[in-house]
Chains A and B, each alone.
Chain A
């Protein structure tokens, strides 16, 4: 028995040792993967005229715009249209990814395992510099430089996706965050106009509170989304558009934390630990008066709100902070999705990726996609008079905004954004003050 056991064990160890070498190679591969990527990239990139691969190219696409996503229907049409037009030449195969957290995990896992999908999208929780460092991403620079394609984009959109001179992602869905308020609840509290400064905002919040209304539905659960957006707006109002330049040492972060903490005096009792569904529930159920979120949410006021909420919601600009460096009208925004592609060794495949991304970025398609879902895009689009009023107001405000600065989580390293909910708990529950809150964030970044 001993011998057999020993044999099994030896075998096991051998397999282990052998197999360990494989995964170990991944982190141990310190030998400049970036250069490797450069050499692996397609030799002759520009295939502008005529895409005629030797055989049909198949591209896999773990895609989040499926299922109950508001973009699913039109996006599905786009993919079908592409597959029809390129029949026999290229085919995009959609892998449905509905759970967003699981999707992020999958993409991260695949990149860590060294196998980027052919096509995929990322949001701000992935830092483009990290992605570039993996050496697994296709470089779009040759296809975008001085092309008709790059002319489609809003100013600065492509620069934003450039790391070390390479465009490693195509900005796709963008967003600007406005403030939305329930006119009926405000009227009950004696307000017909939305306040222009934070002082006035808090005076109004007192009036709302007296009516038994939640002024601001906030949350510290999940990624603390609504609170993070307010924090971003307050930061801009206090510190101006350059507030992120000096990192967390800027005193604006402490001051903004004080304002945010005060907002929690006017929120629901379940705010600590609440998720987005709770926050949305309060606003849709006429329990809360002032709301912030991205444009994708706007159609839901009418669809899910009670008492004809859709007709009673109005858009407002975030208030100004008296004595702050911000300009009234400045907004927080984000790129909600970048399109990326795994680096391709096969030139046909690389060309197919470009064909597909060009196809889905055609303004005509995006116009349709925006209309159906409320979303905004990095590609410049005509204004659409069919849009609901709040969306038109938001777009008008975005067009005339003195600046649109990415929100807090986008502007900070991933670890700091992820530390925000817990730090906010501490701030709201009073275990730390505003300075302590910022210190917690700083510690998370180290």
Chain B
């Protein structure tokens, strides 16, 4: 609705704390990042201004371009596979099958465990000497397929994506908390009309939680673009930088004491991200208009 005069005062009051924190911890630091991205600086000795040279340098670096590509793949897989899976499971759990509380709690566990443990487990799973996956292949007599999953050029990235895509707790919780607000009466009415469970889910539940699906897809895309921890811990970008991501790239540049390119990479990450976010919002907006 349109705010009244009184509302405006309230709004100013309500928005200030978040805005102040945002300015202090996002705007100012990002300005810093922008400025440093124009310098050649090792973090210690004197810096020298080089303009946009750092941007060209990293763009010419095949590792950075691969990182961007990998991030886009992460974002796509997250938004197009992980989120739909999460929605599916949220819909199933929403019908309250036996033990649904247990399942819901359990699905969220991986988010609670420290990322180190998860990474250690999966690097052991994929290990070629003692990993369970190769053990399983040997068991079913397909030992010749056993390889070093995280150390082979064309299996490393898929291996990372596959194990990670099934950890859906995060998005499932968002969708479920939205679903739980849907009035039970709708389902009862539909039931009387003879709609099957699947039809109910498709025609009642899904449209009701569209905004949280949008939230999830955006978050998933953003998380995909920001992907760092699991890659860092599992492959550190290897083999041969094939699984590198933008944040990992910039982190390594910091370790190389090349602050200019590192910060240029941050700026580019933010730019790519804004485009993706606006793109997803625009898609949903178009769809909303089409429906009207």
A binds B: yes
Chain A residues whose CB sits within 8 angstroms of the CB of B200 once the complex forms: none
Q: Known contacts A16-B23, A19-B28: does B35 contact A425 (CB below 8 Å)? A: no
Chain A residues whose CB sits within 8 angstroms of the CB of B156 once the complex forms: 273
Find out whether the CB atom of A414 lies under 8 angstroms from the CB atom of B148.
no
How many Å lie between the Cα of A425 and that of B150 in the bound state? 12
User: Residue of A at shortest CB range from B46?
Assistant: A30
Residues of B1-60 whose CB lies within 8 A of A: 3, 8-9, 11-12, 15-16, 19, 23-24, 27-28, 31-32, 35-36, 39, 41-49
Find out whether the CB atom of A270 lies under 8 angstroms from the CB atom of B32.
no
Find out whether the CB atom of B27 lies under 8 angstroms from the CB atom of A4.
no
**A54 within 8 Å of B (CB atoms):** no
Which of B9, B15, B44, B150 has a CB less than 8 Å from the CB of A131?
B44
**A210 within 8 Å of B (CB atoms):** no
Q: Known contacts A108-B254, A273-B238, A422-B241: does B48 contact A16 (CB below 8 Å)? A: no
Q: State the interface size on chain B (CB cutoff 8 A).
A: 50
Chain B proximity mask over A180-201: 1 for CB below 8 Å, otherwise 0: 0000000000000000000000
User: Residue of B at shortest CB range from A26?
Assistant: B47
Which of A20, A29, A105, A272 has a CB less than 8 Å from the CB of B151?
A272
**A33 within 8 Å of B (CB atoms):** yes
Find out whether the CB atom of B129 lies under 8 angstroms from the CB atom of A268.
yes
Which of B11, B16, B43 has a CB less than 8 Å from the CB of A111?
B43
Q: Known contacts A27-B35, A270-B151: does B44 contact A134 (CB below 8 Å)? A: yes
**A220 within 8 Å of B (CB atoms):** yes
**B259 within 8 Å of A (CB atoms):** yes
**A362 within 8 Å of B (CB atoms):** no
Chain A residues whose CB sits within 8 angstroms of the CB of B256 once the complex forms: 414-415, 418
Question: From residue A93, how far is it (CB to closest CB) to chain B in Å?
Answer: 25
Find out whether the CB atom of A422 lies under 8 angstroms from the CB atom of B23.
no
Which of A125, A270, A418 has the most CB atoms of chain B within a 10 A radius of its CB?
A270
Find out whether the CB atom of A16 lies under 8 angstroms from the CB atom of B257.
no
**A239 within 8 Å of B (CB atoms):** no
Q: State the interface size on chain A (CB cutoff 8 A).
A: 53
Find out whether the CB atom of B257 lies under 8 angstroms from the CB atom of A429.
no
Question: From residue A28, how far is it (CB to closest CB) to chain B in Å?
Answer: 6
Find out whether the CB atom of A431 lies under 8 angstroms from the CB atom of B238.
no
Q: Known contacts A16-B23, A27-B39, A270-B148: does B239 contact A425 (CB below 8 Å)? A: yes
Chain B residues whose CB sits within 8 angstroms of the CB of A429 once the complex forms: 152-153, 239-240
Find out whether the CB atom of A30 lies under 8 angstroms from the CB atom of B129.
no
User: Residue of A at shortest CB range from B252?
Assistant: A418
Residues of A103-161 whose CB lies within 8 A of B: 104-105, 108, 111-112, 125, 130-131, 133-134, 136
**A24 within 8 Å of B (CB atoms):** yes
Chain B proximity mask over A5-40: 1 for CB below 8 Å, otherwise 0: 100100010011001100110111111110000000
Find out whether the CB atom of B19 lies under 8 angstroms from the CB atom of A8.
yes
**A84 within 8 Å of B (CB atoms):** no
Find out whether the CB atom of A133 lies under 8 angstroms from the CB atom of B46.
yes
Chain B residues whose CB sits within 8 angstroms of the CB of A130 once the complex forms: 42, 44-45, 257
Chain B residues whose CB sits within 8 angstroms of the CB of A415 once the complex forms: 256-258
Find out whether the CB atom of B3 lies under 8 angstroms from the CB atom of A1.
yes
Find out whether the CB atom of B23 lies under 8 angstroms from the CB atom of A27.
no
**B196 within 8 Å of A (CB atoms):** no
Find out whether the CB atom of A269 lies under 8 angstroms from the CB atom of B32.
no
**A271 within 8 Å of B (CB atoms):** yes
Find out whether the CB atom of B236 lies under 8 angstroms from the CB atom of A221.
yes
**B285 within 8 Å of A (CB atoms):** no
Q: Which 7 residue pairs across A and B have the least CB separation, nearest first?
A: A133-B45, A272-B151, A27-B47, A134-B44, A425-B240, A273-B151, A112-B43
Given A274-B151, A418-B252, A418-B255, 15 new contacts (CB under 8 A): A1-B8, A19-B31, A20-B35, A28-B49, A29-B46, A111-B43, A112-B259, A130-B44, A220-B238, A221-B236, A270-B129, A273-B148, A273-B235, A415-B257, A415-B258
